[in-house]
Amino acid sequence: MTLSERTPAGRPAVASDVLIGRDPDILSDIHAPGVAAAIWRRTPDAAFQTWIDGLNETRLPRLRTCVPVHKAETAVLIACGIVATPQGQELDRFAGDVGALTAMYCRIMGTDYARIRLDVTDEAMCPKFHLDNVPARLICTYRGNGTEYVPERHQGDPGRIRTMHTGDAAVIRGGQWPSEERCGLLHRSPPTTFRNRPRLLLVVDMPD
């Protein structure tokens, strides 16, 4: 899907294209002109999704850390150990996936360190459409509804709002993207319902 906007000559272009694909390499297309977000469409393993959806909220890991890329998986395992997340194949799959997504983000952004967050919430953390004050951010919802996004110029039209799938991984440009292109794509946390809460969200950013 593409949602392009070009401004008159002499003014910076507004990047608002959204690229969606099944190949993980699509995340690297965030560097392409006009691209505001690249989404890797993923179908979660059924056994894993059943496991993570069934965990008690007290067993879901919370994490705030900045680590070398090769320490990301270990950081997740430590966070899971603190809240006694049940050990086993599914926990290893989860930690490994966070580590792999962090490595992909670091490769795309050209950094050896990353800030990693695992947020657990039953409320919309950012209910208003906004642009993050970062160069670019990787997000993935492991449990609950995915992040919603809309072109800035259409944020008043509910029919233009799109929602990422659970398990999708996306790299979204922010306000500090190093380009003359201004990002024209906004996003927000989805409304929560009794069925989908609490939500477990991964956020990976550039280090400060």
Among 148, 208, 152, 138, residue whose Cα is nearest residue 182: 152
Per-residue confidence (pLDDT) for residue 11, from 0 to 100? 55
Sign for the pseudo-dihedral over CA of 121, 136, 205, 55: positive
Question: For the chain, what is the domain count?
Answer: 1
Q: Is residue 5 one of the residues assigned to a domain?
A: no
Q: Is residue 3 one of the residues assigned to a domain?
A: no
Give pLDDT tens digits for 165-199.
999 999 999 999 998 899 999 999 887 665 656 99
**Tokens 């929560």, residue located:** 192
Residue numbers of the domain that contains 102: 14-205
Mean pLDDT of 92-104: 98
What CATH number is given to the structural domain containing 174? Answer: 2.60.120
Q: Is residue 38 one of the residues assigned to a domain?
A: yes
pLDDT higher than 80, residue 164: yes
Q: Is residue 32 one of the residues assigned to a domain?
A: yes
Q: Is residue 1 one of the residues assigned to a domain?
A: no
Per-residue confidence (pLDDT) for residue 12, from 0 to 100? 60
